[in-house]
Amino acid sequence: MQDIGDVAEAFRTARGFGSSPLYSRLLAVVAEDRSLLELAARTRPGQQPTFALFGAVHYLLLAGARDPLAEYYPSVAGAAARPVDGCTGPAFARFCAAYSDPIASLLGTRLVQTNHVQRALVLRLGLALLRRAASAPVCVVEVGCSAGLNLRADRYAYTVGGAPVGDRSSPVQIKVEVPDASLLPDLDRLPEIADAVGIDLAPPDLTDTDDRAWLRALVWPENSHQAAQLQAAMAVVAADTPRVVAGNAIEIGHPVAATLPPGLPRLVVHTATRIHVPAKDRPAFDAAVAAFGADGPLLHLALEDDQLVAPSGRSGFGLSATDARGSRTIAVADGHLAWLEPLPPMNGTPWL
Ligand SMILES: C[S@@+](CC[C@H](N)C(=O)[O-])C[C@H]1O[C@@H](n2cnc3c(N)ncnc32)[C@H](O)[C@@H]1O
> What is the position in ligand 1's atom list of the atom closest to the CA of 119?
8
**Both 127 and 76 in a single domain?**
no
Residues 282 and 172 occupy one common structural domain: yes
Taking CA atoms only, the protein residue closest to ligand 1 atom 14 is 144
In-domain check, residue 237: yes
User: How many folded domains does the chain comprise?
Assistant: 2
204/320 same-domain check: yes
- 79 plus 149 within the same structural domain: no
Mark which of 109, 141, 156 sits at the end of a domain.
109
Best of 125, 141, 276, 280 to mutate for ligand 1, by most ligand atoms within 8 A of CB? 276
Q: Of 185, 111, 170, which is closest to residue 145 (Cα–Cα)?
A: 111
226 lines ligand 1 (CB under 6 A): no
In a shared domain, residues 59 and 199:
no
Q: Are residues 162 and 275 in the same domain?
A: yes
**Ligand 1 neighbour 26 (Cβ under 6 A):** no
Q: Do 39 and 137 belong to one domain?
A: no
The confidence band for 4, taking pLDDT boundaries of 50, 70 and 90, is very high
Are 136 and 63 within one domain? no
Instruction: Supply the range of the domain harboring residue 18.
Output: 4-109
Q: Which residues pair with 141 in a beta bridge?
A: 197, 268
Q: What is the mean pLDDT of residues 109-126?
A: 97
* Phi/psi-derived region of residue 299, left when phi > 0, alpha when psi is between -120 and 50, beta in every other case: beta
Q: Is the pLDDT of residue 110 over 80?
A: yes
* Distance from residue 276's CA to the centre of ligand 1 (Å): 7
Reply yes or no on whether the pLDDT at 205 is more than 80. Answer: yes
Of the three residues 109, 140, 162, the one that is the final residue of a domain is: 109
| Residue in 273, 301, 304 to alter for ligand 1 test, most ligand atoms within 8 A of Cβ | 273
pLDDT at 350 over 90: no
Instruction: Give mean pLDDT, residues 291-301.
Output: 96
275 alpha carbon – ligand 1 mean position (Å): 9
DSSP H helical segments within 198-242, as ranges? 209-217, 224-238
Asked if residue 352 belongs to a domain, the reply is no
Length of the chain: 352
50 lines ligand 1 (CB under 6 A): no
Atom of ligand 1 nearest to the CA of 146: 27
The reply to whether 190 falls in a domain is yes
Q: 282 lies in a domain? A: yes
Tell me, yes or no, whether 194 lies in a domain. yes
Are 85 and 212 in a shared domain? no
Residue 156 inside a domain? The answer is yes
- Higher per-residue confidence, 16 vs 200: 200
Q: Is 20 in the pocket of ligand 1 (CB under 6 A)?
A: no
pLDDT over 80 (residue 349): no
| 203 Cβ closer than 6 Å to some ligand 1 atom | no
Atom 10 of ligand 1 has which residue's CA nearest to it? 273
**What are the tens digits of pLDDT across the range 242-277?**
999 999 999 999 999 999 999 999 999 999 999 989
Q: Are residues 34 and 50 in the same domain?
A: yes
CB distance 200 to ligand 1 below 6 Å:
yes
User: Does 33 have pLDDT greater than 90?
Assistant: yes
For the chain, helix, strand, coil in percent to 5 are 45, 20, 35
Give the domain CATH number at 159: 3.40.50
Q: Write down the pLDDT at residue 112.
A: 96
pLDDT in tens, 156-197: 999 999 999 999 999 999 999 999 999 999 999 999 999 999
Measure the CA–CA gap between 276 and 236, rounded to whole angstroms.
27
pLDDT of 351 strictly over 90? no
Mean model confidence pLDDT for the chain: 96
- With a 6 Å cutoff on the Cβ, whether 303 touches ligand 1 is no
The answer to whether residue 279 sits within a structural domain is yes
Asked whether residue 65 falls in the same domain as residue 123, the answer is no
Cα–Cα dist 233/231, whole Å:
6
**Ligand 1: which residue has its CA nearest to atom 25?**
201
How far, in Å, from the CA of 182 to the mean position of ligand 1?
31
pLDDT number for residue 76: 98
Q: Are residues 147 and 61 in the same domain?
A: no
Question: Which of 77, 109, 141 is the C-terminal boundary of a domain?
Answer: 109
